[in-house]
Structure 1
């Protein structure tokens, strides 16, 4: 009898469990259906999903999608109720931003003023609506703040136009200030904003919009046809803009054109124009860039111009100019780790080792590319503590209970990655180090390696480098690296940067898998490796992806003289660009990395190098030198013999 009772209880438990699983699966399907209904604008289906998901962990989503379908028709009371009820959700933050823009666009200033103080972060559109709300209330102090925004030269949408018009109408800005903003906008090639700003000038001082278009689209022709014996202010700005545009591809011709019109520019305009030309020339590594910077004299330079002056001087080995350019940076920009490191190097090269050491000492605490270089300079390179902080059960329980973490991991499980990413970012943004490592462990257990790395990367004082630098797919990657004769640690460094070990990762342009191979590249590799049965779908298989990715890296590196830093730049930006970024002479690898013109690739190469340093330590148990890893990039000529073969062979 006891056995029968036990069997009955087990059957009842199994039946209840099966029913619970079926119910959960049905709710999952309802969430996915709600997302599809949102995409297609099916309000009826969204209403049905909202009813089914009442009380569910993700119940806010159908309501949020309904309110946005479209927002201008939403009931304000329902919006306010949602914002109050889901205040701990990123959906409230997103809805609040959209709602404030809607209120601003319709001039609903009382409701706007009530909601605006709850906004977190900055949004220039909403800032301008806030200024308009204050103007509507007769707040004269707003003009001072709005004037600062105007003169900052930032791009702004049409929501700011009434604010800027009010500044002009009230004589808080005049032609000098308008031309100051115009100059900054033209330097950023912000044509639409420049045209709107131009409209604030008196009619007789404006340039023609079509003339601006010609200066931007064909600057050489524009400059050749500019024969006016005297330039007004608008013409001067257009000429300077055209010179800078021409300098992007033909700096020598731009310099000749600038010399030809120099007599029709004032001294200040001429120095400014040389600064613009030098900036563009430095970004394409023109050998005369520093000479043109010298022509700019004491003209005020932006942080971007000064940064490229420093980079041009690094390539030329002119350490006095490096130091002067860095010292002229704004305090905020000068605090960047790159400029603290290069300032220290310049001080050391110029005979101030104590000052250099003081700067380097502040950097070694930062586990990144420049922190590792600084440790080399000080002789302090040491292996990280791979057995770092491990979250306790209490840590895990506390973080697991957080609604934001629960929502994020549930959304990832449902492949709603966009929503999941937003929830995760919102949930971990202010966690303590132990809680971040607990979140990392929960993400690892859930099969979300990129979120595990993301959380572990954010710790400040308490670390787990094992979580930051995991080694999944070890057998496959070790075998592929050995077969292709490439450094396994370097391949791990690339994978960590490319996909964060998400085997089914797919970029917006179609790059797929651990090593983010493009289908065209993969097909070429498949032919080289004699894989007749290859299909792009196979790139999601880790063992296939790493075989093909390591083969491709080997081929690129071989065609670039065997230099892994060049090959890493090529992996991100293409072999042709990596070659063009070399110098005529061999170049310190760290300088090559710092002077890559594309910000994305510059950051990519530095991070892959830092990743490789950590993976070398983890895989071999040995501490390597970042200076040695970065090495020396060969100059032009050393690898040029292989250029034709590279262009023909590698897609």
Structure 2
């Protein structure tokens, strides 16, 4: 859709543009773009390259442009470290209420925190509407501790433990709280363990340094060669020494859990206390569970559930499901923190365990109550819970049609319009951020269901399908399935899928997850188009399906991408004997991995839901569940008939080692 079309169909932006100078709204006959759109795009590139002077010279040319707030943000952000407080406040005033104002406030708060300017930080913090930056929240804890001496240790641990990479804000807050004796050595070492387990050695080192330089001293050797570090020690030697051994065993387990189990059992177990031993056994069990080895349960059995992390417990549940140990499933889910225990994944499996172990009506009633609490059409486990209660997946009744006033509320929303404009101008990332900010209404109450549906409708009307879907997905009570599960390019998709014997609902379910129907979508690893096809896969598949005239540049062409994507999906579906869960995993992670994940002759036949939950890669595990949930909902929409996710899942058994793979060269 050209920007000239956008301007005529979005009244607010049209009025914004009409207020600019003649040069701003002059149209380029060759591109259909507003002339200064090119300047905005140039500023975007200059910002990414850190060209401060170029940004400053270009800024006057975008005065009055609909995307001027972005240009002004980039220009000031690039020189924020040298900007005066007055310049920053002037920006806040000029662009009050915009996403750019609050984003710059985020940047400014980080800078004030780095400067330890707590007075100005605390004065500005209440104005930060998004409050979506963990480091800012940690700086707030550090500032509060400095100014009031309040005990904020629980808040800090929540932020710090969830943090992936080390940053100044959380480390500073932890250091100050530790100095004030509001954090213990055990709290600090827990952070170091979590960081080491997540392969974040810098974060582990920074945590240990809070205790003392001596505590952090062995970290480099532990990271580089944990086996050598352990081999040089006869005993652990004090609390710090024991924790260093724990970190070394954690690091060692990531590469060789079997060897680590032997080393722990035969030497280090007697030197560690029960809590430390439990944690290491939990790490070993998790690593074994991710490798789908039966010994995982033996390792978990040597640990106390109360001393394991939620992540350890999650993998204990998965390993127990594979072995049909329902009592362990129940015990491990009950040991999770209250917040994690309420996630639909663990609610569902806890309910299933109660049903398997039920000794009377009370157990069955508790299970039914758990299932009823999550049952619905919103996701994988919600749908499975619905079926466990004896119901099928149906298309919900459509909400009352949006009124003209409700549609106008979205149509005249400045932030939504600017988001759409940015997306169509080629600034998708910026447009998405602005759109999300506007639909969140700065996190203060947010939009209600009707507002969200009106915003989704606006995005759908302008074929910005990813914003249409994500916005409609957020409604809590009213559900518009046609917004949540749109079917663009229906003739092309249905015709191609039907021709090669694929369920169109499956194709739509996959595209919705892959690209949200963004035709020029590109992934970080090089996949392209609606069905996110990798170049080597496209070349191989084109040859396989007889597309002799395929050229690499055609990969983002709609019909070509659909033809190659569906062709590849059909080939892997046939290769896995029609198993949608396995074919879906193969589409995401490559065919060889699902073949290994299913096991070989002699292994158990299991529910595909258990198999999917045990997929070692978090991305693929989530992908399989979302694609099959999407597929079930699309099937309900397309057929108008009740659907079963369970039937689509089926069971997965071990691979017959003697059975030949149809397409051994599948990429």
Q: Normalization by structure 2: what TM-score?
A: 0.87
Could you tell me which residue of structure 2 aligns to residue 478 of structure 1? 494
- Describe the shift of the 1:550–1:92 C-alpha distance in structure 2 as closer, same or farther (beyond 3 A): same
How far the C-alpha of 1:233 sits from its partner, in A, is: 3.2
**Cα-Cα RMSD:** 2.8
Please point out which of 590, 603, 627 is paired with 2:622: 603
Following superposition, the deviation at residue 417 of structure 1 comes to 0.5
How far apart are 1:475 and its partner, in Å? 2.2
Q: Residues 539 and 179 (structure 1 numbering): CA distance in 2 closer, same or farther, change over 3 Å?
A: closer
| Cα separation, partners in 2 of 1:206 and 1:498, compared to 1, 3 Å | closer
Residue 279 (structure 1) aligned to one of 279, 286, 290: 286
User: Which residue of structure 2 lines up, in the alignment, with residue 13 of structure 1?
Assistant: none
- CA change 1:205–1:25 in 2 (3 A) is closer
Q: Which structure: larger Rg?
A: 1
The yes-or-no answer on 1:254 pairing with 2:260 is yes
Q: What residue in structure 2 maps to residue 6 of structure 1?
A: none
**Alpha-carbon shift at residue 278 of structure 1 (Å):** 1.3
> Which of residues 207, 213, 229 is equivalent to 2:223?
213
Mapped partners of 1:354, 1:165: distance in 2: 48
Distance 1:203 1:77, change over 3 A: closer
> CA separation of 1:82/1:528 partners in 2, compared to 1, >3 Å: closer, same or farther?
same
Look up the SS of the partner of 1:186 in the other structure: helix
Alpha carbons of 1:33 and 1:587: their partners in 2 closer, same or farther (altered >3 Å)? same
- What is the CA distance between 1:642 and its match in structure 2? 3.4
1:394 maps to: 405
How far apart are 1:66 and its partner, in Å?
1.4
Q: Provide structure 2 residue ranges, at least 5 long, that are not aligned to the other structure.
A: 1-17, 441-445
Per the alignment, residue 7 of structure 1 pairs with none
TM-score, normalization by structure 1 = 0.89
- In structure 2, which of residues 123, 127, 134 is the aligned counterpart of residue 114 of structure 1? 123
Asked if the contact 1:247/1:281 (under 8 Å) is kept, the reply is no
1:360 pairs with 2:371? yes
1:641 alignment counterpart: 659
Residue 649 of structure 1 aligns to a residue whose secondary structure is coil
Per-residue CA deviations over 1:394-442 (Å, capped at 9, x if unaligned) read: 2211111111011011111201111101011011122221221221221
The 5 A counterparts of 1:16-95 are 22=27, 25-41=34-50, 46-47=55-56, 49-95=58-104
Task: State how far apart, in whole Å, the 2-side matches of 1:612 and 1:150 are.
Answer: 36
Q: Is the 8 A contact 1:244 1:273 kept in 2?
A: yes
Contact 1:334 1:340 in 2 (8 A): yes
CA distance in 1, matches of 2:576, 2:367: 34
Which stretch of the first structure deviates more once superposed, 145-154 or 204-213?
145-154
Give the one of 318, 326, 329 matched to 2:325.
318
SS in 2 for 1:526: helix
Aligned to 1:8: none
- How many Å separate the matches in 2 of 1:227 and 1:42? 53
Aligned match of 2:636 in 617, 622, 645? 617
Write the distance in 1 (CA, Å) between the matches of 2:654 and 2:497: 27
Matching residue of 1:515? 531
User: C-alpha distance in 2, partners of 1:147/1:494?
Assistant: 39
> Are the structure 2 counterparts of residues 26 and 512 from structure 1 closer, same or farther at C-alpha, using a change threshold of 3 Å?
same
**Where does the alignment leave 5 or more consecutive residues of structure 1 unmatched?**
1-15
Q: What is residue 494 of structure 1 aligned with on the other side?
A: 510
Once the two structures are superposed, what CA deviation does each residue of 1:263-303 show, in whole Å capped at 9, x if it has no partner?
33334432332222112212222102112111114551111
The CA deviation at 1:44 is 5.7
Distance 2:341 2:451 in 1: 32
Match of residue 561 from structure 1: 577
Distance 2:551 2:174 in 1: 56
More displaced 10-residue stretch of structure 1: 624-633 or 378-387: 378-387
Residue 248 of structure 2 is aligned to residue 239 of structure 1: no
Distance 2:64 2:118 in 1: 34
Using the alignment, how far apart are the partners of 1:461 and 1:606 within structure 2? 23
Quick one: distance in 2 between partners of 1:378 and 1:299? Answer: 31
